[in-house]
Amino acid sequence: VRGRDDAWTPRPVLILAGAATPGSRTRWVADLVTRRLRAAGASDRLWDLAETPLPPRGGGDAAPEAAAVKELRVWAATAGALVWVTPCYHGSYSGVLKNALDHLCVDEIAGKPVGLISVGASLTAVQACEHLRAVARTLGCVCVPTQSVVTGSGHRGDTPSLHTADNRDVIVRIDRMIHELGALAGATAALRGPSRHLPLGHDYERESAC
Ligand SMILES: Cc1cc2nc3c(=O)[nH]c(=O)nc-3n(C[C@H](O)[C@H](O)[C@H](O)COP(=O)(O)O)c2cc1C
């Protein structure tokens, strides 16, 4: 991967680490993505939902928006691409990641490329990526083709081994994902901005806090 070939710099890539507990394997993988982005010449911003949790998203706009939510929305709006890293829980992505995505508005991220990574005990964690792909589509995002699943049945706090048969190609896949993010960030520029085409097919964001 050559960072200078990629069209998305200088806009940072926003990495969401979607585990609720500090020191998670999800965070370890998010840190790995950060290092690979830097090696590719990209800038990054990491939001760890364990370190900076968000309040539950409710409907409507009655409650004042928390400072952390405002900040995340700015980070999302200014990002050139996103990477969502989630633990796999019961065959899907985490609740805290969904809550964070529910705080975002289509206008902030529509048309931006997204890379998906799930972290689980086994390859069943691939389902979390598949489910996130549907969420990304609803938000108008463009998922890159390469996703990554990091497995390992160790205990909390263990570092996932990149030397197991399942994980051996994780870095190669992350690098390919980063390359695809860069290529698509330029190609999808025309899809961004106010949601003229309403990927949601409904104007409910206008009725809520967005
Ligand atoms: C409630 C719960 C459900 C889980 N369900 C799955 C699952 O369906 N598939 C899987 O591969 N791993 C599953 N796991 C294992 C986690 O995905 C695994 O521990 C992962 O590494 C998350 O770790 P982290 O919180 O340290 O990031 C589950 C763990 C918990 C706590």
Token digits for 207? 């009725």
The 10 Å Cβ neighbour count of residue 173 is: 17
Mean pLDDT of all residues belonging to the chain: 87
* Span between the terminal Cα atoms of the chain, in Å: 36
For ligand 1, the distance from its centroid to the CA atom of residue 120, given in whole angstroms, is 5
Q: From atom 1 of ligand 1, which residue's Cα is the shortest distance away?
A: 89
Residue whose C-alpha is closest to residue 182's, from 86, 32, 39? 39
Indicate if the pLDDT at residue 198 is higher than 60: no
Q: What is the chain's Cα-based Rg?
A: 16
Across residues 134-160, what is the average pLDDT? 86
| Separation of alpha carbons 93 and 9, rounded Å | 29
Confidence of residue 1 (pLDDT cuts 50, 70, 90): very low
Q: Which residue(s) pair with 82 in the sheet? A: 14, 114
H-assigned helices in the chain = 25-39, 67-78, 95-103, 106-109, 126-138, 170-187, 204-207
Distance from C-alpha of 53 to C-alpha of 100, rounded to nearest angstrom: 9
Among all chains, which residue has been given the structure tokens 């806009």?
11
Q: Looking at mean pLDDT, say which of 50-54, 56-60, 166-170, 198-202 comes out highest.
A: 50-54
Q: What are the pLDDT digits (tens) for 68-111? A: 999 999 999 999 999 999 999 999 999 999 999 999 999 899 99
User: If pLDDT is split at 50, 70 and 90, which confidence band does 164 have?
Assistant: confident
Of the residues 16, 89, 129, 150, which should be mutated to test ligand 1's pocket, given the most ligand atoms within 8 Å of the CB?
A: 89
The pairing of strands 44-48 and 142-143 is: unpaired
Determine the atom of ligand 1 nearest the C-alpha atom of 23: 26
Q: Report d(CA 135, CA 12) in Å as an integer.
A: 22
Per residue in 167-191, pLDDT (tens digit) is: 889 999 999 999 999 999 888 877 7
Q: How far is the CA of 89 from the centre of ligand 1 (A)?
A: 5
How is residue 65 annotated by DSSP?
A: P
The whole-angstrom separation of Cα 188 and Cα 113 is 8
Is residue 191 exposed (0-12), middle (13-18) or buried (19+ Cβ within 10 Å)?
A: middle
